Amino acid sequence: MLQVSYIRENREEVLNRLSVKNFKQPELVDQIIKLDDDRRQTQTQLDSIASEANASARKIGDLMRQGLKEEAESIKSQSNTYKEQTKTLSDKLSAIEILLQNELVLLPNLPHVSVPKGKTPEDNVVALENGKIPQLMTNALPHWELATKYDIIDFELGNKIAGAGFPVYKGKGAKLQRALINFFLDRAGEAGYREMQPPIVVNEASGFGTGQLPDKEGQMYHIGIDNLYLIPTAEVPVTNLYRDVILKEEELPIKNCAYTPCFRREAGSYGAHVRGLNRLHQFDKVEIVQVVHPADSYQVLEDMSTYVQSLLQALELPYRVLSLCGGDMGFTSAKTYDMEVWCAAQARWLEVSSVSNFETYQSNRLKLRFKSKEGKPQLAHTLNGSALALPRIVASLLENNQTEKGIRIPAALVPYTGFEWIN
């Protein structure tokens, strides 16, 4: 959530940067400034009445001590007027603050000045490509056919149990899932991330804190009887560990990682681009989260991108890094890099990770601050990234490594799988 003070002091810059995100309601900026004007004016009136009431109370006390009871009672009768005025202004202030909050949450985060302009994924900028595109045999199969051929993933059985988008992993398919999770967690630990095991359901306050609510409630599974949400990513519970917390500056950076299943209702389109593992309602993912000093966050973003790339390199997957344009960025992000892997049988790039800097957008909602030894508390910066999401990694591993002998497991994973081939 943007800070009102920043919006007031930087109106033109805010409007210009929102235009990079193709924001369709720029009039909200002036509405927010107007509401803040009303809030300030009402608060001033309330403070003035409170000052008059306090002065009156002191005068009454002085008169009573002087034995001038009649005069004191005369002034005391006026105190009811102060009470009525205070209640009226307090109610007005509360109403304005609610309206102001409701307007503020409709503004997305401002894109960083380095974010390229654009409206669609086609406008994203390829920052780099790495790895050699594999040349497959002529009878190469897409991963959903390989899954059936080697009996490692059963999409129909998952559909029977829960519905489309909930596959069942079997045998070496299940072991490959577990191997990837352990591999990603071990690598994160080596990179200095502290492993957490958070809940996989969150309340409304947590959803609001990281920006899923009120923006993405339609994409989340809601447990109505308890008013809880299945998490779309471990970012939500892990970042919320620090909601309403004031950290010490020397505690920064905080680096956490977590494995969780993730749940998203977004699937709904049809065609080869969403077949098999390309888009699921439930999937496994290891997430990395950092809370850092504002001066360090953009270097940390680059470091997190490099770290995720190191995982893809270890898995021998050809990949590219995209700097997302304003129109393709998430609501809460100030800058995002997407990592895509080449899926050879489908002959297309598949997104497997997003690494984002949210600057103070989440921390303002979370009231996540840090305090230096000399200064007052200030908002920290938060970042997160997928490191990594499993479904499309598995899809690319199966497709890219298929041979006449079977599917080859990358050397880095063999100590985790216990086998070199799926055949």
Q: What is the pLDDT of residues 189-237, one digit of tens each?
A: 999 999 999 999 999 999 999 999 987 788 999 999 999 999 999 999 9
Contact between 359 and 336 (Cβ < 8 Å): no
pLDDT in the model for residue 272: 54
pLDDT in the model for residue 271: 54
- List domains and CATH numbers for the chain: 4-104 (1.10.287.40), 121-422 (3.30.930.10)
CA dist 18 and 85 (Å) reads 40
What burial class does residue 166 get, using C-beta atoms within 10 Å of its C-beta: 0-12 exposed, 13-18 middle, 19+ buried? middle
| Minimum mean pLDDT range among 43-47, 78-82, 108-112, 274-278 | 78-82
CA dist 121 and 325 (Å) reads 7
* Chain Cα centroid distance, residue 164: 26
Retrieve residue 142's tokens.
Answer: 């897409």
pTM: 0.92
Q: Which residues of 39-49 are buried (b: 16+ CB within 10 A; e: fewer)?
A: beebeebbeeb
Residue 403 has pLDDT above 60, yes or no: yes
pLDDT in the model for residue 273: 65
Binding-site entries for ATP: 264-266, 351-354
The four Cα atoms 86, 87, 92, 97 give a dihedral, to 10 degrees, of 90
Binding-site entries: 233, 264-266, 287, 351-354, 384
How much of the chain exceeds pLDDT 90, in percent?
Answer: 86
Binding-site entries for L-serine: 233, 264, 287, 384
The mean pLDDT value for 383-399 works out to: 98
CA dist 261 and 206 (Å) reads 17
The mean pLDDT value for 391-416 works out to: 98
- The closest alpha carbon to 318, from 134, 137, 152, 169, belongs to 134
Residue 339 has pLDDT above 70, yes or no: yes
